[in-house]
């Protein structure tokens, strides 16, 4: 399957088409709006479902298989900010705190992008390690912590008032709602394994793809409402939001292979490395680095990188994986 | 019936400032607060509350005049430079002075 | 099956019984209340599901089969206000703007009534053209636009302030949330066809009837809370809200037959003609004809015509269709 | 199966593990929060689903089988306050109105505890009478009414302002949202029976256990947020909240056997007797006995008895039933 | 343009007091009210509105001065002792006096 | 600390008037607004916000006195005759005059 077939296969999936529909809704100023509680409910469902499924998969596969690639994913997440920071600071001329904030977002991950990728693999009948969710779970926090430290170092400690303490950052990075749900559901799934899965499968697994499609309709609107901010972020960040994911995607795939994953798992590792957080990181950063400008990190991760990955990135990372594995 | 003059301080800010603001209210000596989930528009752009990142809250606190003074000072110093936010003060009358 | 059997079969379906339960909740002043976000979520689900399903059906049947009856439906929707307007204006002594507003509602359609009708047909094992959703999609807007024009002509242009412009009306009629969701999901379904359906079927199709039942419980409460307004609308509008649907239902069935539809499809065309909008039209009318009194158009469509169609209308239109086809 | 196996089997079910996860979320002050509309939506779903299922079961089994044990359940619910009241009044030194309020809660029932119990029985393949839901439905109100009367007698009538009238109590006890939904859905299910069930099964039955797991995650947070109030209620109420359920559980099981139920049904009757209301009773009591202190009745039923029953009580009552039946 | 002085009475209380409060508003002669679902913190502890039992509402009513007087009296007598609640009064100006 | 007097204009109206009202706010020179989803009761009957058709919003804007003047005039002329709505003005004090 050529890269073009791969991409068009992705573009014609319900998930991506609903995402596009959401973009159109925002651009045509339709009064269609998902109430925030619905957005939260869908997020909770997706995170719990993917976490639980991953936990069961770990119970099935055994931790022995999982720990090495999981560790690799974690380290990669922690390292990414270390090179993105200077790129932003000196290449993009961003202030220390803004560079650190953006770096944290690109080191962390987007659960929805990951989920969309698993859907894509399912659609093209490409098997993958179900326990890959574990990588998602461990990759979310490290980059946030590294980013906050970079930001604090970059700004005179005195600058920040007591409420934006490192403690806040650590608490958010470990107990923030998305991380907590994901890790928690993963542990629950791990503990109850297959028998537990049989009980809840018809709620957490069967309707999953449909729920994702509905959620991406909303995400399309959310991203679409921010397209206007693109001019605020400037050409550098636009380029950064597309080029960096491609680089990180390749690194992720390569690392996945080195860590002994199959084609599917390596693709997902690439997707994780390439994705930028827009739930966990913004919350943690806003609370612990309030001097960073959200217009930069939110717009780039939400209005540039997220749509790019959903539409084009995922099949591209898969092609990269194919190239690595054949 | 006998009422007592108090100050009502109203703060509108982004949802992520909630913990910091309520912590501050406690520090400066407010004995309670009421929180509203709101949408808004201002100098920093629309906040349609579609996702938490773009949600607003309004916090109202009935306080003694001197508390209001301290509160506004701290807001101006630590919060205004960092958050999408406004704050204003008005005069209200309450029945149970001791409560505030 | 006699008309009485048909009606009682309908009255004993979970959907209608839950609707009745909702009415009772409102009349007994139970503190049961669906939070608005839940109402919105259920609406979104139903519109997306029915739209998507219809789109897939079009992809299956081919546009060649669909375009003629769809066009017929569209024209019928646009024409209905032209005769309901004078009836209301001169028969009911309504002001020009009120007559126009009510006419718009009866020319437009109620998606939930349509959905309940498809459920009814399924329940009695009466096959129908799945692409009938296309008629629902194209019938929603035309009448609204016609109604607004009638209203504007009826009132001195100067009367309305700039905010109630024709532009507002057109935008609402084309991008209002219910129309946008329905048409959008229809296009998405059309584009991905059967393979797409397989992915999301277990969310958008399997639980559909149950969700409808829950939604009708809420609609019963919503309608029940407005029964008190019936005295405001007067006997003429009460009669209008029941007689007009019967006439339009017959016309719709006949037109469906002429347009080459089978028994099931013609029944649905009749239901669409008979139904009155209570989502799309009220929004568009309130914004573009603010001088029209909502107590008239909302009460008649929501508290008279909607319950009548759900409980009695649907089986009656089916009987009419049987009569036409045998 | 020993009591310990029974308990650990329960503790490792997804439902209970998610409940524990919710407790942890509250204790670690995670910013995870279910929006109230989601909580309401889940409650509505669970009550309608369990009610509808029970109604269909009654239609299947025939009222002849159901009325006697249902009557027994009803009487038991009405009697429980009569002995819990003096225990609280004289043993616990509570004011008349507080004793009456708490008594009402323990005479009434918790639908979620009942649902969790049916799940537990399903998990251990213990059959039970599906129409047991009827007992849940009839046990909710009587104790509330008895409790309110006790409270009114205990306090000088003049003390309460007109808004806290007996009328309010009766209306709340009969039309309060949880009772109304449960009884209403039960009647709907009863009326449409098996054919109706086939239509909505894939929404109200298939995903049920998964929804319960998600709901218990929320309930864990709700209960966890109240653990801090435990010191307010004092050691007596703590003990009361655990010992009373055990006594009531045993009585319930015994009564179930006397009333001719099988092992499963008797277990559920025990669970109902042991459970304390935290939806219907608090609403009715707060409105009709506003002088009662919610810190007492809410904390004990929500933060003591509910978690105890979910984690340990259910398997214990089952063991008691085994003991009675063998 | 000509405005008329009125009193704005603000009541924050637990959700279960809603019917009682709106009934009272009607009795004392208020012609309307606006209700907000809010969260709050006060002497009786946090009310995070996670479940209805711990939900708060804020009710605002624009009323004639004498109505405000009666309203506050009744609140102090029947409601303050029983409910988690605060109430305060402030001065506002309206356009259509007859409406209030 | 130095505060500056401003006017707080509060508008309660049906949800469908939102675009028209915010458009008006912009025209008359308000620099921002805060929006609440509310329920209400008034001369045109209960608005329980069960469906959007019966939902209410409250919009608050802190503005210069002359803006408030213009705003109320326009509301009285174009909106009061058409919508279920009330509006009132009160005095508040802000810190950053330039923001409003
Ligand atoms: N003039 C105003 N009147 C009322 N609310 C305002 C005003 N200006 C700003 N706000 C609120 O304060 C939030 C932050 O304001 P800003 O920092 O100007 O974007 C906005 O989203 C509005 O909710
Ligand atoms: N000083 C205050 N300022 C604003 N709101 C308050 C204040 N004190 C209490 N409240 C509100 O009134 C509710 C009940 O107050 P309390 O009875 O003190 O717990 C609280 O949950 C808050 O929403
Ligand atoms: N006296 C009042 N005090 C507070 N809010 C009011 C008052 N009168 C009306 N409202 C609000 O304004 C909305 C429209 O009022 P009306 O046009 O009188 O129905 C009502 O639904 C209430 O939310
Ligand atoms: Na990443
Ligand atoms: Na029609
Ligand atoms: Na009980």
DSSP assignments along C44-91, one per residue:
HHHHHHHHHHHHHHHHHH-HHHHHHHHHHHHHHHHHHHHHHHHIIIII
Burial, A279: exposed, middle or buried (Cβ in 10 Å; 0-12, 13-18, 19+)? buried
The ligand 1 atom at the shortest distance from the C-alpha of residue B47 is 21
How far does Cα A301 stand from its chain's mean position? Answer: 9
Q: Are C53 and C118 in contact (CB under 8 A)?
A: no
Q: Are A43 and A178 in contact (CB under 8 A)?
A: yes
Q: Are D223 and D306 in contact (CB under 8 A)?
A: yes
Measuring CA to CA, which residue among F95, F22, F98, F97 is closest to residue F61?
A: F22
Closest in A161, A282, A302 to B78, CB measured: A161
Average pLDDT over residues B10-23: 96
Token duo for residue C78: 């646009």
Quick count: other Cβ atoms within 10 Å of Cβ A29? 12
Average pLDDT over residues D55-81: 97
* Banded model confidence at residue D161, pLDDT cuts 50, 70, 90: low
Q: Closest-CA residue in chain E for F8?
A: E92
Rounded-to-5 percentages of helix, strand, coil across chain D: 85, 0, 15
Is the distance from the beta carbon of residue E21 to the nearest atom of ligand 2 less than 6 Å? no
Is the distance from the beta carbon of residue E39 to the nearest atom of ligand 2 less than 6 Å? no
Q: Which ligand is located closest to the Cα atom of residue E12?
A: 2
Q: Which protein residue's CA is at the shortest distance from atom 13 of ligand 3?
A: F85
Burial, D208: exposed, middle or buried (Cβ in 10 Å; 0-12, 13-18, 19+)? buried
Closest in F31, F90, F95 to B76, CB measured: F95
Taking the CA of residue D204 and the nearest CA in chain C, the distance in Å comes to 7
Q: Which portions of chain C are predicted below pLDDT 50? A: 158-159
Burial B13-47 (b: 16+ CB within 10 A, else e): bbbbbbebbbebbeebebbbbbbbbbbbbbeeebb
Measuring CA to CA, which residue among F43, D257, D273 is closest to residue E30?
A: F43
Q: What is the DSSP string of D32-67?
A: ----HHHHHHHHHHHHHHHHHHHHHHHHHH-HHHHH
Q: Which protein residue's CA is at the shortest distance from atom 8 of ligand 3?
A: E32
Strand partners, E7: E63, E91
pLDDT, tens digit, 9 for 90 and up, residues E36-73: 999 999 999 999 999 999 999 999 999 999 999 999 99
Provide, rounded to the nearest whole percent, the portion of chain C with pLDDT above 70. 97
* Banded model confidence at residue D156, pLDDT cuts 50, 70, 90: low
Measuring CA to CA, which residue among F54, F57, F22, A24 is closest to residue C283?
A: F54
Burial, B66: exposed, middle or buried (Cβ in 10 Å; 0-12, 13-18, 19+)? exposed
Cross-chain Cβ contact C31/D202 below 8 Å: no
Residue with tokens 């809704």: A25
* pLDDT at residue number A168: 85
Quick count: other Cβ atoms within 10 Å of Cβ C176? 23
Quick count: other Cβ atoms within 10 Å of Cβ A196? 25
Cross-chain Cβ contact F1/B87 below 8 Å: no
Which of F14, F18, F86, F87 for a ligand 3 pocket mutation test, highest count of atoms within 8 Å of Cβ? Answer: F86
Distance CA D6, CA D16 (A): 13
Distance CA D102, CA D99 (A): 5
Q: Which ligand is located closest to the Cα atom of residue F13?
A: 3
The sign of the torsion formed by the CA atoms of A218, A219, A220, A223 equals positive
pLDDT: is D164 or A245 the higher one? Answer: A245
Q: Closest-CA residue in chain D for C203?
A: D203
Alpha-carbon distance values, D20 to A321, C33, D115, D218 (Å): 40, 29, 17, 10
* Banded model confidence at residue D157, pLDDT cuts 50, 70, 90: low
Distance CA D270, CA D73 (A): 10
Distance CA D56, CA D204 (A): 12
Q: What is the DSSP letter of F78?
A: I
Cross-chain Cβ contact B90/F8 below 8 Å: yes
Consecutive H or E run containing B88: strand B85-94
Q: Are D209 and A203 in contact (CB under 8 A)?
A: yes
Interior angle at CA B31, CA B25 and CA B37, nearest 5? 60
* pLDDT at residue number C158: 47
Put simply, whether the predicted model's pTM sits higher than 0.95 gets the answer: yes
Closest in C161, C218, C225 to F48, CB measured: C225
> CB distance from A283 to chain B under 8 Å?
yes
Q: Are D190 and D59 in contact (CB under 8 A)?
A: yes
Quick count: other Cβ atoms within 10 Å of Cβ A4? 10
Residues with C-beta atoms within 5 A of ion ligand 6: D 109, 275
Alpha-carbon distance values, C217 to C117, C283, D31, D52 (Å): 16, 23, 33, 13
* pLDDT at residue number A6: 84
Please give the ipTM for the structure prediction: 0.96
Burial A56-86 (b: 16+ CB within 10 A, else e): bbbbeeeeebbeebbebbbebbbbbbeebbe
* pLDDT at residue number D154: 81
Q: Which ligand is located closest to the Cα atom of residue B37?
A: 1
Going from the Cα of F29 to the center of ligand 3, the distance in angstroms, rounded, reads 25
- Probe site for chain D from E50, E57, E74, E81 (most D CB atoms < 10 A): E50
Going from the Cα of A260 to the center of ligand 4, the distance in angstroms, rounded, reads 20
> CB distance from B93 to chain E under 8 Å?
yes
* Banded model confidence at residue D277, pLDDT cuts 50, 70, 90: very high
Quick count: other Cβ atoms within 10 Å of Cβ E96? 12
* pLDDT at residue number A154: 81
pLDDT, tens digit, 9 for 90 and up, residues C186-228: 999 999 999 999 999 999 999 999 999 999 999 999 999 999 9
Burial, C54: exposed, middle or buried (Cβ in 10 Å; 0-12, 13-18, 19+)? buried
Quick count: other Cβ atoms within 10 Å of Cβ A192? 25
Q: Are D187 and C32 in contact (CB under 8 A)?
A: no
Distance CA A158, CA A152 (A): 10
* Banded model confidence at residue D158, pLDDT cuts 50, 70, 90: very low
Helical pair A133-154 and A63-86, crossing angle rounded to 10 deg:
30
Measuring CA to CA, which residue among D199, D198, D141 is closest to residue D174?
A: D141
**Is the pLDDT confidence value at A162 over 80?**
no
> CB distance from A298 to chain B under 8 Å?
yes
- Three-class secondary structure of residue F77 per DSSP: helix
C7's CB contacts (< 8 A; 6+ apart) are C312, C315, C316
> CB distance from E95 to chain D under 8 Å?
no
> CB distance from A107 to chain B under 8 Å?
no
Interior angle at CA C197, CA C196 and CA C200, nearest 5? 95
**Is the pLDDT confidence value at E91 over 90?**
yes
Is the distance from the beta carbon of residue F81 to the nearest atom of ligand 3 less than 6 Å? no
Alpha-carbon distance values, D58 to D53, D119, D131, D138, D170 (Å): 9, 19, 5, 14, 26
Q: Closest-CA residue in chain A for D18?
A: A188
- Three-class secondary structure of residue A25 per DSSP: helix
What is the tally of helices (H) and strands (E) in chain F? 2, 4
Cross-chain Cβ contact C14/D40 below 8 Å: no
Q: Closest-CA residue in chain F for B86?
A: F94
Going from the Cα of E99 to the center of ligand 3, the distance in angstroms, rounded, reads 9
Strand partners, E35: E59, F39
Interior angle at CA B24, CA D231 and CA B6, nearest 5? 90
Measuring CA to CA, which residue among F34, F36, F80, F38 is closest to residue F55?
A: F38
pLDDT, tens digit, 9 for 90 and up, residues C240-274: 999 999 999 999 999 999 999 999 999 999 999 99
pLDDT, tens digit, 9 for 90 and up, residues B28-40: 999 999 999 999 9
**Is the pLDDT confidence value at E1 over 80?**
no
Provide, rounded to the nearest whole percent, the portion of chain A with pLDDT above 70. 97
pLDDT: is E1 or E76 the higher one? Answer: E76
What are the φ/ψ torsions at residue B93 (nearest 5 degrees)? -125, 130
**Is the pLDDT confidence value at D122 over 50?**
yes
* Banded model confidence at residue A158, pLDDT cuts 50, 70, 90: very low
Cross-chain Cβ contact B23/A163 below 8 Å: yes
A163's CB contacts (< 8 A; 6+ apart) are B19, B20, B23, B24, B78
Q: Are C179 and C173 in contact (CB under 8 A)?
A: yes
Q: Are A233 and A296 in contact (CB under 8 A)?
A: yes
Going from the Cα of A27 to the center of ligand 5, the distance in angstroms, rounded, reads 30
Strands F33-41 and F4-14: unpaired
């Amino acid at each position: 399957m050529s890269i073009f077939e791969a991409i068009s296969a992705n573009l014609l999936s319900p998930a991506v088409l609903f995402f596009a529909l959401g973009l159109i809704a925002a651009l045509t100023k339709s009064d269609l709006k998902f109430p925030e509680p619905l957005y939260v409910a869908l997020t909770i469902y997706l995170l719990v479902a993917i976490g639980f499924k991953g936990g069961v998969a770990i119970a099935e596969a055994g931790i022995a298989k999982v720990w090495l690639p999981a560790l690799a994913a974690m380290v990669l997440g922690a390292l990414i900010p270390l090179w993105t920071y200077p790129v932003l600071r000196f290449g993009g001329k961003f202030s220390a705190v803004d560079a650190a904030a953006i770096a944290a977002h690109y080191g962390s991950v987007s659960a929805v992008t990951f989920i969309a990728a698993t859907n894509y693999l399912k659609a093209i009948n490409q098997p993958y390690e179900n326990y890959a969710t574990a990588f998602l779970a461990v990759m979310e926090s490290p980059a946030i912590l590294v980013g906050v430290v970079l930001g604090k170092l970059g700004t005179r400690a005195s600058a920040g008032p007591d409420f934006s303490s490192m403690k806040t950052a650590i608490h958010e990075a470990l107990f923030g709602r998305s991380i907590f749900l994901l890790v928690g559901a993963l542990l629950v799934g791990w503990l109850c394994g297959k028998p537990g899965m049989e009980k809840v499968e018809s709620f957490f697994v069967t309707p999953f793809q449909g729920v994702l499609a509905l959620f991406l309709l909303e995400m399309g609107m959310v991203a679409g409402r921010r397209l206007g901010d693109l001019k605020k972020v400037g050409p550098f960040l636009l380029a950064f939001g597309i080029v960096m994911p491609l680089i990180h995607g390749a690194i992720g795939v390569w690392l996945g292979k080195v860590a002994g994953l199959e084609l599917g798992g390596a693709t997902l590792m690439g997707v994780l490395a390439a994705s930028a957080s827009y739930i966990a990181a913004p919350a943690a950063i806003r609370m612990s680095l309030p001097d960073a400008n959200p217009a930069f990190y939110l717009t780039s991760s939400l209005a540039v990188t997220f749509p790019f990955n959903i539409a084009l990135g995922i099949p591209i990372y898969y092609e990269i994986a194919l190239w690595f594995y054949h | 019936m006998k009422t007592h003059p108090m100050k009502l301080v109203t703060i509108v800010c982004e949802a992520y400032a909630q913990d910091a603001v309520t912590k501050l209210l406690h520090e400066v000596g407010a004995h309670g607060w009421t929180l509203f989930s709101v949408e808004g528009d201002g100098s920093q752009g629309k906040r349609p509350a579609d996702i938490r990142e773009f949600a607003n809250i309004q916090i109202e606190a009935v306080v003694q005049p001197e508390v209001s003074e301290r509160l506004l000072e701290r807001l101006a110093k630590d919060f205004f430079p960092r958050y999408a936010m406004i704050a204003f003060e008005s005069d209200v009358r309450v029945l149970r002075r001791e409560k505030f």
